[in-house]
Structure formats: C-alpha cells, structure tokens
Amino acid sequence: MEQAREIIDQVCVFLNEDGVRYHVRSDSPAIDTSFRGESGVFPVIIAARQDPAILAVMVGVPVVTPEPRRGQMAEAVARANHGLTLGCFDFDMSTGDMYFRAAIPLGDGGLAHRQFRDLLGASIATAGKYHRAFCRLLFGDDLSPAEVIAEIEMADG
C-alpha cells in the first residue's frame, strides 16, 4: 500500500501545481475531484494500485439511465467502446450509472506530470464527448444507439 500512497502523493503535487481542488480519501489510495465540462459537472476518482503499479482515472458520466432504457444504453456503450483506444465506459445495468475508466501502468519509472495530464484530460474529454450522445439517446429525437454514437464519432471527422 506504500507505493500506491506515494503515487497519490505525487498526483496531489500535480493537482496543486494545476490549481485543482480535491479531497484525498483516508481509507484508500484515491482522490476525489470534479471538472466542469460543456455538458455538466463530471465527478472524478483518481486511484492508485500497486503490484503492479497502476494509476486509474474514473470519470462519472452525469446521467442515470431509467430501467426501461438500459438495454438501449448498454448497446450505445458497447458501440462507443468499440472505437476507443484509451479506456472504456462501464455501465451498471442494475443502477443505470455510468463512468469512463482509463489507467496506465507505471512500472518502476514513476509518473510524469505530462502523463498524468494526458490521462486525465483524455478521460474527461472522452466522457464529455460521449455524454452528449448518451443524453441524446435518452432525451432526444428517438435516435437508435447506433445513430447517436455514429453522429458523435462523425462530428470528430
């Protein structure tokens, strides 16, 4: 657990340098924070694990899918995940909650500020990008899961 705490301490240094407010959990090597995006506030958990050393970022997607729409949302999540190169969406079929998760192995080399910024930035950007599609599926014009994901992915060219 010592190495995981050291990783979290390093992340705290990076967050302080970037002027980000956060809370360090006392019960586990993790940090809670949030970021405002174009379509809402995204809660973020930054967690470290050791053996092997890994830093993970989990970005909450601020939408809860009602039970009758969970099958469609699960399809949309699967379609979104298919095209991703870093991380994936996790969708809880029993609660309708969703988050985007990405991680990097650290090995013995430690963690550079740029690595952390890239991981965090890519995770938040991906959650924000697809959040629009997930909201459109739930509250939009009766588009199919395939259509909402294709629309978002085509917009990026």
- pLDDT for 108: 76
pLDDT tens by residue, 51-101 = 889 999 999 999 999 999 999 999 999 999 998 999 999 999 999 999 999
- pLDDT for 143: 87
The 8-class DSSP code of residue 76 comes to: H
Strand, helix or coil for residue 69:
helix
Residue in this structure with the two tokens 């599609």, named with its chain if needed: 133
Nearest Cα neighbor of 132 from 40, 57, 65 is: 40
Of the chain, the percentage scoring pLDDT greater than 90 comes to: 80
| Residue 51 lies in domain | 2-155
Nearest-angstrom CA–CA distance, 4 and 133: 35
Packing angle of the helix pair 2-17, 113-139 (nearest 10 deg): 80
- pLDDT for 3: 85
Q: Per the structure, how many domains does the chain have?
A: 1
CB atoms within 10 A of CB 116: 21
Note the pTM of the prediction, 2 decimals: 0.92
Burial of 98 (0-12, 13-18, 19+ CB in 10 A): buried
- pLDDT for 157: 54
Which CATH number characterizes residue 32's domain?
Answer: 3.30.1460.70
Of the chain, the percentage scoring pLDDT greater than 70 comes to: 98
Q: Is the pLDDT of residue 1 over 90?
A: no
Q: Is the pLDDT of residue 151 over 70?
A: yes
pLDDT tens by residue, 3-18 = 889 999 999 999 999 9
- pLDDT for 67: 95
